[in-house]
Amino acid sequence: LFAGETEFVKGVVAMDGLPPADRMEVCFAGRSNVGKSSLINALTGTRNLARASNTPGRTQEINYFTLGDRGYLVDLPGYGYANAPLPVVEKWQRLLRQYLSGRQTLRRAFVLIDARHGVKKVDEEIMSLLDSAAVTFEVVLTKIDKVRRSDLDRALDVTRSALSKHPAAYPELVLTSSEKGDGIATLRSIIAGIE
Ligand code: GDP
């Protein structure tokens, strides 16, 4: 699945720029630096695919990639930029809210959480948005190669209890390392199973 099937389509800055809603899509969200680009690259088996979304000027865009002709993989802008000016933050929060609640073909969201840092306030906010929009989501812990087993167990407990408050959340976490390859096959098969 995916290898060679994934191409950048476009970056979107407003709802009227979205591609036609003619196939299923899944989206990826997470704080900046959570490892989202690395994960998307690992998933799709390409090296630099999601790099586009990390270049200056692209960071506030919703980036669309194809999953063959079956669907779209949607890379949402990283949130939690400490230094972004308020109007910029507000503009993209509005777009995000419109996208999550208004995109008929959005089937699943993946919320990425750094295994070292756990669930932060901005993560809680996006999960609440997903609850209100009734978009089911999976929480993906990233960079698990960077934490000791004992710390990981603690992070899992804390994250699971945070998830239990969110009706739209899948109870099972996906543990990943883009560096080592953990969890990549699991994520691929989750996406492959989405109609
Ligand atoms: P993004 O801002 O969410 O797109 O994050 P990036 O994918 O650019 O990753 C941010 C930093 O974390 C980079 O220095 C990556 O090399 C590093 N990183 C990403 N995924 C992993 C991982 O699974 N393991 C380790 N050790 N580092 C990672």
Report if residue 3 sits inside a domain: no
pLDDT on residue 126: 94
* pLDDT tens-digit profile, the chain (195 residues): 566 688 889 999 999 999 999 999 999 999 989 999 999 999 987 766 655 555 555 567 899 999 988 999 999 988 876 667 788 778 888 999 999 999 999 999 999 999 999 999 999 999 999 999 999 999 999 999 999 999 999 999 999 999 999 999 998 999 999 999 999 999 999 999 998
CB atoms within 10 A of CB 51: 15
pLDDT at 81: 66
Asked whether residue 2 is assigned to any structural domain, the reply reads no
**What's 158's domain CATH number?**
3.40.50.300
- pTM here is 0.94
ipTM > 0.90, yes or no: yes
Provide the CA 167 distance to its chain's centre, in angstroms.
Answer: 18
* Domain annotation covers residue 1: no
Nearest CA to ligand 1 atom 22: 143
In a domain, 41, yes or no: yes
* Assigned domain for 83 exists: yes
For position 192, what pLDDT does the model report? 93
141 Cα–ligand 1 center, Å: 12
Residues of the domain holding 169: 8-192
* Per-residue model confidence (pLDDT) at position 183: 98
- Give the pLDDT of residue 167: 98
What are phi and psi for residue 32, nearest 5 degrees? Answer: -60, 140
Cβ–ligand 1 distance for 157 under 6 Å, the answer no
Maximum C-alpha span of the chain? 47
Phi, psi of 132 (to 5 degrees): -65, -35
Structural domain total, the chain: 1
Return phi, psi of residue 129, to 5°. Answer: -60, -45
pLDDT at site 85: 79
Nearest to 61 by CA among 69, 72, 52, 70: 52
Position 20 in a domain? yes
Q: What is the DSSP string of 100-162?
A: HHH-TTEEEEEEEEETTT---HHHHHHHHHHHHHT--EEEEEE-GGGS-HHHHHHHHHHHHHH
Residue 176: inside a domain: yes
| Residue 98 within any structural domain of the chain | yes
CA distances from 54 to 33, 41, 119, 189 (A): 10, 12, 22, 26
Ligand 1 atom closest to residue 177's alpha carbon, by position in its atom list? 23
Matching residue, tokens 């948005």: 129
Alpha carbon distance 54, 38 (integer Å)? 11
In whole angstroms, what is the distance from residue 6 CA to residue 72 CA? Answer: 9
Distance (Å, whole) CA 49 – CA 47:
6
Task: Tell me if 147 CB under 6 Å of ligand 1.
Answer: no
